[in-house]
Copies of this chain bind each other. A is one copy, B any other.
Amino acid sequence: MADAALFEFLHTEMVAELWAHHSDPGPGGQKMSLCVLEGMGFRVGQALGERLPQETLAFREELDILKFLCKDLWVAVFQKQMDSLRTNHQGTYVLQDNSFPLLIRMASGLQYLEEAPKFLAFTCGLLRGALSTLGIKSLVTASVASLPTCKFQVVIQKT
């Protein structure tokens, strides 16, 4: 399965490249790089959303769409399913991956936690982009309490 590795290697290079050449060392520059990564993820997510099985278009329930992301999208990108999905039934969803592949190669330890955001921005965009293709506007953020577990919070934007 060189494919799966290919995506991970390319993602790693992309993060490194954006960090090396793109950002001022200050928080402004880092925020800029995170936005760029999120934007790239968004467009890839949009494009992937269009390629995923057409049955998805038959989805009407929000929860079904979120389940679809946790299963089909995650398998397509990470070769595994999301570990859990919770919702407050008011448009907020928490998707938890207990061993998020893009964090799994990072050494674990509290001192590395601050490095985590740059490995999450692309995937936040990916989720937001796939949702957008499926007709749902959202805000997606990610948080890590202990590596390599990661929670993605999706807040649906009602129009």
Give the B-binding residues of A (Cβ under 8 A). 2-7, 9-11, 13-14, 17-18, 21-22, 36, 40, 43-44, 47-48, 51-52, 73, 76-77
Contact = CB atoms under 8 A, between A and B. Distances in A.
Total identical chains: 2
Contact of A9 (B13, B14, B47): B47
A2 B4 CA distance: 11
Contacts of A44: 6, 9-10, 13
A74 to B, nearest CB: 11
A76 B6 contact: yes
Contact of A3 (B3, B14, B18, B21): B3
Nearest to A44: B9
A52 B3 contact: no
Contact of A10 (B10, B17, B22): B10
A77 B9 CA distance: 12
Nearest to A126: B6
Contact of A48 (B6, B21, B40): B6
Complex A-B, nearest 3 residue pairs according to Cβ-Cβ distance, in ascending order: A2-B76, A13-B40, A9-B44
B36 A17 contact: yes
23 contacts: A2-B48, A2-B52, A2-B76, A3-B3, A3-B4, A3-B7, A5-B47, A5-B48, A5-B51, A6-B7, A6-B44, A6-B48, A6-B76, A7-B7, A7-B10, A9-B43, A9-B47, A10-B10, A13-B43, A17-B18, A17-B36, A17-B40, A21-B36
